[in-house]
Structure 1
Amino acid sequence: MSTDTAAGPILSLNNIEVIYDRVALAIKGVSIDVPQGGMVALLGANGAGKSTTLKAISGLLKPERGEVTRGDLRFPGRDIDALMPQQRVQLGIVQVLEGRRVFEHLTPDENLLAASAVAKSSRAEMTRMRDRVYGYFPRLHERRTAQSGFLSGGEQQMLAIGRALMTNPKLLMLDEPSLGLAPFLVAEIFDIVQKINRQEGLSVLLVEQNALAALEVVSHGYLMENGRIVMHDSAAAMKQNPDIREFYPGGSEGKNFHEIKHYSRRKRWLS
């Protein structure tokens, strides 16, 4: 399990509210801290508001006609709400979007070099960072000259994370990296992200529906429902919570709350 290496948070959301099209309230009073060098999970079902929260942090709300209308968003300790997405990348915030978005017509090598251009790195620095990515993802090195559209889903997810690492981030935000992947691939990718966190002190905010898989590698978790945080605890405590185990994909009982009638009435935090 990841451990927090410093007292102060690198990222702090305090009572954040997001509205789309000036009328639709998407997230309400969300407060989250990511410790410096820590790994934190934001859990919840599809549509809970997790991706909206990430986009509020990375600055990607405006193209979708969303805006932060209340609360404080600080990284690290600096108000970043007025900054453009590119300015946030330059500060060290990088988001790996859901869906393994890579340039399918380019090779992994070309994808990584294209990503490093965002950070305006020297050629020597590009090479060093690319070699670092291949060190973490040796499978990508084996496929480095293949067209990325022909990579497997797991390899494309590795490449998406590798592209993010090429910007030399301080905070890595992963949006549903397990989506559509076999459990053994999810475990492999999560183990690699945990290794990067431990070896480099890279702070990680992991957004997931697969709660139990995520809670294996983080120190703390937040559970989101209907745009609100309804639970926050250590990963160890959340893994043992019967509602987490029952109602979220990856639980030992294998139940999906979409298939359980009146599930919301049975949750202890809603009763």
Structure 2
Amino acid sequence: MTAGTEAPPILSLINVEVIYDFVSMAVKGVSLTVPEGGMVALLGSNGAGKSTTLKAISGLLKAERGRVSRGEVIFQGRQIGDVPPQARVAMGIVQVLEGRRVFEHLTPDENLEAAAARSLSGSQIAAEKDRIYGYFPRLFERRHAQAGYLSGGEQQMLAIGRALMTQPKLLMLDEPSLGLAPFLVREIFEIIQRINREQGLSVLLVEQNALAALEIVSHGYLIENGRVVMHDTAEALRANSDIREFYLGGSEGKNFRDIKHYSRRKRWLT
């Protein structure tokens, strides 16, 4: 790629709408782009439509009686609206669901092996595990313990490790900081950033912790009530006075979980 040129998109959403039970619209015309090898954040409060947007990409809406009713989801130049979830994983799309979903009765080692792509040989699986343990040395130390006894941070690392075992091209993370101490959030986000840098893995990060997310991504989208209301570079979003007031704490220490009302007029909505 020559200097000054942008990477082509690995993922594009074009005016995507999502409805549940044929009547309830959760996402209302969302458009966004993730560049090849880039890191992008989708920010917003609880219930804004962030997780639904991810499931529209991964194909997990049907299990929740939802569907994409309009718009296009394009991955590597292909419209994938009719592609089943398992085939999307095979194409290289993987979503780490909110809540640290791991097999609690299995060890981290067994969890990683269970998530490996079927096409991998025994030696390739071993190599993939070594690579993941290199990123998450804590998991290596606990590799023979039952996953149910790992700490919250270790379980989140294992959930990300399981996703990496599928050899993804696009890694989607849904609230990886949820319920974790700030030092663990920093550690995990630094590892995600390192994986992106070293492996060229494209990342779409869904977060309520806007401050942490904007430290590691290049661009961010702000979603409210199912609509994207702002899109800019991470630097510009951090500097925006309204974003700082409503989403980065501001002078009064507000954050997504503290804000109860949105009565003050937001300039980007006018």
Structure 1, residues 86-137: CA drift from partner, whole Å, max 9, x if none?
0000000000000000001110000000000x44311111011100000000
- Matches of 1:32 and 1:146 in 2, distance apart? 40
Who is 1:15 aligned against? 15
- How far apart, CA to CA, are the structure 2 residues paired with 1:257 and 1:202? 28
Match of residue 76 from structure 2: 76
Specify whether residues 230 and 216 from structure 1 end up closer, same or farther in structure 2 by C-alpha distance, changes over 3 A only. Answer: same
Tell me the equivalent position of 1:143: 142
1:178 corresponds to: 177
Residue 101 (structure 1) aligns with: 101
CA distance in 1, matches of 2:147, 2:269: 45
- Aligned CA RMSD, in angstroms, stands at 1.7
One-letter code aligned to 2:112: L
Q: Distance in 2 between matches of 1:201 and 1:234?
A: 19
Identical pairs, percent: 75
- Output the CA distance in 1 between the equivalents of 2:74 and 2:268: 29
User: 1:144-196, CA deviations, whole angstroms, 9 ceiling, x for partnerless residues?
Assistant: 00111111100000000000000000000000000000111001000000000
Match of 1:235 in 2: 234
Q: Which residue of 1 aligns with 2:224?
A: 225
How many Å separate the matches in 2 of 1:193 and 1:129? 16
Q: TM (normalized to structure 2)?
A: 0.95
How many equivalent residue pairs? 267
Q: Separation in 2 of the partners of 1:234 and 1:97?
A: 25
SS in 1 for 2:32: strand
Q: Using the TM superposition, give the Cα deviation of residue 259 of structure 1 relative to its aligned residue in structure 2, in angstroms.
A: 4.6
d(CA) in 2 for partners of 1:198, 1:149: 31
1:255 and 2:254 aligned: yes
Maintained 8 Å contact 2:147/2:155: yes
Deviations 1:27-85 (A, max 9, x none): 01100100000000000000000000000000000010100011111001101110000
CA offset at residue 244 of structure 1? 1.9
Q: Distance in 1 between matches of 2:258 and 2:191?
A: 33
In structure 2, the partner of 1:56 is 56
CA shift in 2, pair 1:264/1:103, >3 Å? same
What SS does the aligned partner of 2:162 have?
A: helix
How far apart, in 2, do the equivalents of 1:250 and 1:263 lie?
A: 14
Alignment of 1:73-222 (within 5 A): 73-116=73-116, 118-222=117-221
Gaps of 5+ in 2: none
Select between 6-15 and 23-32 the one with higher mean Cα deviation: 6-15
